[in-house]
Amino acid sequence: MATPKKDTLLFVCGQCGFESRKWLGRCPDCGAWDSLGEQQKPLVLRPGRKAATAQPLAAAGEEETARLVTSIGEMDRVLGGGIVPGSLVLIGGDPGIGKSTLILQLLSSLAAKGLKVLYVTGEESVRQIRMRANRLNIEDPAISVSTENCVEAIVDLAGTMQPALLAVDSIQTVYSEEVGSAPGSVTQVREATARLLALAKSSHLPILLVGHVTKDGAIAGPRVLEHMVDTVLYFEGDRGQVFRILRTVKNRFGSTNEIGVFEMQESGLVGVDNPSALFLAERPVNVPGSVVLPSVEGTRPILVEVQALVSRSSLGTARRTAIGADPQRLALLTAVLEKKLGVTLFDHDIFLNIAGGIRIIEPALDLGVVAALLSSFLEKPIDPGTVVCGEVGLAGEVRAVGQMEMRLREAGRLGFKTFLMPESSTRQLQSKAREGLHLLPVRTVAELADSLFRA
């Protein structure tokens, strides 16, 4: 059996796509260990070069940028108002989180408007897709299904059918005939995405790609995959909970860090119009360690419950666990409390949780974390009509955060009476006090503790 020539082999990193002519124990690009795998060098075709062309920006027609509204409110929100023609959208998430269900519901919504859509799946048979459609009560002949895996055949099929939207589930199962490696490899994923990207831009066909994720939560394949597409959405949530969060990580046509909230029901995913009320529905009243935070995700204010449990540790090293928040930020705020308030926490286990399965990454969470930790440590509950918002610095000072008016309106709409916030933000919002909210300014964590627990 003839062996491949040495110059036709490449070693490709499975994490970032770095290519090397020889095997390396550690990737010099991303630093991953034992990530380089042997692949045959793809055949490079060199057709005749075409002359480059250009046109004035003002000559681009406005009708080409009209968005395709899906009529799924939460989906349209994270996309910035709908799907832009010619865009490439990547949706990632854990197995079983609901990616394929959401795609099928989206296609059904567009088909109900009389649009022809194409669903290409490399992981399921047509019969299995039909079973899911029956469970979701989807009966629409405008949805066409194909089980093709070859990207060249998919491009030809899309050119023949001329659908209004193409969905590919998943990109890791698609391969190119011109690449010798197996489907799902770095080279194949990159090449298949490049072919679909060229199809989207040349024909103004919007394409949705479903991507697998690794154990670290990142989309499998080369990191360049996220740079190639126009929009990256992550489906978050625990399969044991009914809530699902669709988060925008990248969007060339709208706001980033936007989220859509869905509830998994027997009939499929249902958008949640009022997530604040949903996240606070089971909030305990007059229980130490619980406080409400008015957070802002993209253009949407959401009230969430911050829970903390501080208990004396029986181990040599106390534990610090954060769910839905940054563990490093929790350690920092714990050190600030010990240094500035003299609270002894080094021998206490600390557990922090953002109820509802949502993840908060903005610095406005700091003051809520500090309030919840003090409440649990002192065994004193916080007034249930109080919301807390602000950033905490290393000197114990409370710093201003943005979009306070939006947070204020959402808190007042849900009936809260007291808004504990940075003093620098209060000066700009004094006129809002007549809306029924009492603004309580604080400058340091010491003033926070005095305002909440002085009794």
Average pLDDT, integer, range 263-288: 90
**pLDDT recorded at residue 16:** 75
Phi-psi category of residue 379: left, alpha or beta, with phi > 0 → left and psi -120 to 50 → alpha: left
CB-neighbour burial class of residue 63 (10 A; exposed 0-12, middle 13-18, buried 19+): exposed
> What is the residue-averaged pLDDT of the chain?
87
Closest CA to 357 of 232, 235, 214: 235
**pLDDT recorded at residue 287:** 95
**pLDDT recorded at residue 354:** 94
Average pLDDT, integer, range 320-333: 95
Q: What percent of the chain has pLDDT over 90?
A: 56
Strands 438-442 and 386-388: unpaired
**pLDDT recorded at residue 151:** 95
Listing from the earlier edge strand, what are the strands of the sheet with 259-265? Answer: 143-146, 117-121, 165-169, 207-211, 88-93, 231-236, 243-251, 259-265, 268-271
Is the pTM above the cut of 0.85? no
Q: Of the ranges 352-356, 395-399, 430-434, which one carries the lowest mean pLDDT score?
A: 430-434
**pLDDT recorded at residue 66:** 82
**pLDDT recorded at residue 1:** 40
pLDDT tens digits, 148-166: 999 999 999 999 999 999 9
pLDDT tens digits, 198-211: 999 999 999 999 98
Q: Are 297 and 369 in contact (CB under 8 A)?
A: no
Average pLDDT, integer, range 131-135: 91
Closest CA to 154 of 142, 166, 164: 166
Partners of residue 150 on adjacent β-strands: 175
Give the single-character DSSP code of 218: S
Flag whether pLDDT at 455 surpasses 60: no
Flag whether pLDDT at 428 surpasses 80: no
**pLDDT recorded at residue 360:** 92
**pLDDT recorded at residue 41:** 62
pLDDT tens digits, 29-41: 888 888 887 776 6
To the question of whether residue 95 is assigned a binding role by annotation, the answer is yes
Domain 70-273 matches domain 278-453 at the CATH topology level: no
ω into 125 cis (within 30 of 0):
no
To the question of whether residue 99 is assigned a binding role by annotation, the answer is yes
Partners of residue 444 on adjacent β-strands: 397
Q: Are 394 and 327 in contact (CB under 8 A)?
A: no
Flag whether pLDDT at 15 surpasses 90: no
440 CA to centre of own chain: 33
pLDDT tens digits, 215-267: 666 676 666 788 899 999 998 887 777 888 999 999 999 888 789 999 988 88
**pLDDT recorded at residue 55:** 78
Flag whether pLDDT at 445 surpasses 90: yes
Strands 19-20 and 9-13: antiparallel
**pLDDT recorded at residue 50:** 65
Q: One-letter amino acid identity for 124?
A: E
Would the CA dihedral through 155, 157, 161, 166 be positive or negative? negative
Average pLDDT, integer, range 57-83: 82
Most confident of 205-209, 401-405, 413-417: 205-209
Q: How confident is the model at residue 329 (pLDDT cuts 50, 70, 90)?
A: very high
Q: Of the ranges 77-91, 215-229, 387-401, which one carries the lowest mean pLDDT score?
A: 215-229
To the question of whether residue 97 is assigned a binding role by annotation, the answer is yes
Domains of the chain, by residue range, sit at: 8-40, 70-273, 278-453
Q: Are 350 and 318 in contact (CB under 8 A)?
A: yes
Question: How many other CB atoms are found less than 10 A from the CB of residue 48?
Answer: 4
**pLDDT recorded at residue 4:** 47
Q: How confident is the model at residue 187 (pLDDT cuts 50, 70, 90)?
A: confident
Question: How many other CB atoms are found less than 10 A from the CB of residue 43?
Answer: 10
To the question of whether residue 284 is assigned a binding role by annotation, the answer is no
Q: Are 394 and 336 in contact (CB under 8 A)?
A: yes
Q: Tokens 């114990």 belong to which residue?
A: 396
To the question of whether residue 94 is assigned a binding role by annotation, the answer is yes
CA atoms within 13 A on the CB side of 302: 28
CATH 3.30.70.2660 fits 278-453, yes or no: no
pLDDT tens digits, 338-376: 999 999 999 999 999 999 888 898 999 999 999 999 999
CATH of domain 70-273: 3.40.50.300
To the question of whether residue 98 is assigned a binding role by annotation, the answer is yes
Closest CA to 105 of 139, 134, 131, 136: 136
